[in-house]
Structure 1
């Protein structure tokens, strides 16, 4: 083999435009080991054929890919294709989250606005709906609800029980914690059979209802309006909260969420008599 194809670590680092310390790190995590190590001097030698791998590793590290994923990608084959697809999804999720963060800053700067709804006192009718339970970290609540609805949609479709007018929602606890337990559900027509599906009874009875227009980043403001209305009515929130995710009236319209907060009458001790609320 031609000696000109072998390079000491400093020359190899120069060729692939990386610090020597980075190459030593790649060796330490077993991403790119020297092609040969002199047993006497300990000098590391790389082969020119390793340059493409060094460049690929550097590019993947630059976008935050873990050493484990990089090792899988370097091995090639279907596993590499799957690992690259996973990385793409990761970056897409990060972009989505960064975009949401920018929207938060724009809101605080007064550059964007949302349209809060007007709370209305309603009497929710009894209803039993197909549902799917979930457990989620608070930080992943929105993503968990989205995945849960997709799974429930697939279940309804597999049972041939997915009418075109299906509406989707979530049943959530009134008080959120770092770990949230709830249900996603489907509002289907009253004559839709539910054999073979898990169903739950939605809360019924007195409630305050409000429709949120805009991204879910502003949901807290709409919840505040609803709970303020409950407080001013001399009632107290009770039971669970329903979020219905309504289809926008037009394609360019902002998302809409109908929020229903159950209410009950508080006695002098501050406890709530929720009557028929479930």
Structure 2
């Protein structure tokens, strides 16, 4: 876990659930590694996340210098993407809708809020970082430094290697990462899930490679038919699909539990797919 530390809420934090006196937090455990190890940092990141949601708005003149230099680039040409509420995700009350969302994970941080609140939300995130990690000293600089600060506020950002679009509500795997994998890899380990032909070839090749007729020195060799190799290369080419291809860009709603709207039933017999659906009227 991590060692003892103190938190002193300042004037930026006004929440009835937080005492006006200093809060003493005593975690249980011991740090294995340095102070920048995840076991130490993640607990502090969680604390910063909570404090950010407790901030109150300040006059524009009191915004932190990092926030004042920000520019906002948000698309307003099309309506916001909305998802109907269901039993898994009931509608939010007005008090929740106006709240910002701050998520911290190791050294990644994401802030979400409606356009009219994003400036204050960014300030909440900055001030909570300084509250937890301090403003630094002569030996150690600030936890947020201007030379590393990205001043553009946008609904499209990279988080943990994935491109998140909070306007279109999609999660994408960036094409430059797919291009890197395409150049570095000659195999598609997930290919056997997409092609019965390839799956059968790989299964038989693996059996032959470890048969009793082969010696220990050659038992690890696997031979593939030309058609199987062609299938692998064909699937590798999907890595080069356009940036917004549905192969690599999915709506965020598909990653969340939702109530079903329609039902369709099918059998799983290869070569004889069929099924029925009362909702779509097919049999």
TM-score, with length taken from structure 2: 0.21
TM-score normalized by structure 1? 0.21
- Select the structure that is richer in helix: 1
CA radius of gyration, larger in: 1
Greater strand percent: which structure? 1
